[in-house]
Amino acid sequence: MDNAQKTVVITGAGRGIGTEIARVFARAGYTVIVNYYKSETAALKLQAELTAAGGNAHAFQCDVSDCAAVSGMAARIHKTFGGADVLINNAGVSAWGLFTDTAAEERRRVLDVNLHGVFNVTHAFLPRMIERKEGCIINISSIWGVSGASCEAVYSASKAAVVGFTKALAREVGPSGVRVNCIAPGLIDAPETDGMNARFTREELAGFAAQTALGRAGKPSDPAAAALYLAGAAYVTGQTIVVDGGYL
């Protein structure tokens, strides 16, 4: 099956890394499902951009933390497009501050989106992949899910859980022909990257970038390129690719 016959579902594609992943896959010939929650204007603009460039893109609104809503979205995608050949769990929220200062509601929201959202979406699309004996799932974690970060304990925990889920599920569904991998981005410098860098000054971001081996922050195109690679890497599964410019 060539890419023109394949569908990729990207959660949280209305901005940041998700938007660039959508562009990369559209250029590669995939039918692109742009999932968004609140960023409707941006998602519809992206859909129009990809379509104008000759691509095939469709926007679907859904809060990935809402299991019933995810099931409904998946049912519509299965009916219209036959399911997902590639699923990219990109949707995420951040939380910054001392763990002792985080409220229970904030902790729940981070876990609901970053972890349970991955569970919900994967659970909705995986059965069709198993039935067809092929499929690719790519989870977007973070370098803080690998190393942990001060003042981001809850966020780090949620992203570390995604890494563990990736490794375990890869072993579980490998015999069914389904591959599961993970990308752990480092500092990605984009104004619209989910507001995750908004708390830092330009000087602070420059200092962080200077600590990488490449001496610069990443671009959304960096993890997007890794995602496209993993989509076609037929003998790669259970892996976490760190895209951080050599920070860790």
d(CA 227, CA 139): 9
User: Cα separation of 147 and 39, whole Å?
Assistant: 30
Rounded to an integer, what distance in angstroms lies between the CA atom of residue 173 and that of residue 16? 30
Specify the DSSP element, H or E, that contains 160.
helix 153-173
Report the residue count for the chain.
Answer: 248
* Catalytic entry in 155, 229, 235, 247: 155
Residue with tokens 């993970």: 182
Q: What share of the chain is helix, strand, coil (3-state, %, to 5)?
A: 50, 15, 35
State CA 124 to chain mean position distance.
Answer: 16
CA angle 10, 16, 18 (to 5 degrees): 10
* Residue 222, φ and ψ in degrees, nearest 5: -70, -55
**What Å distances lie between residue 126 and 104, 130, 163, 186, CA to CA?**
31, 6, 17, 28
Is 155 a residue of the active site? yes
Q: How far apart are CA 149 and CA 20, in angstroms?
A: 25
Catalytic residue list? 155
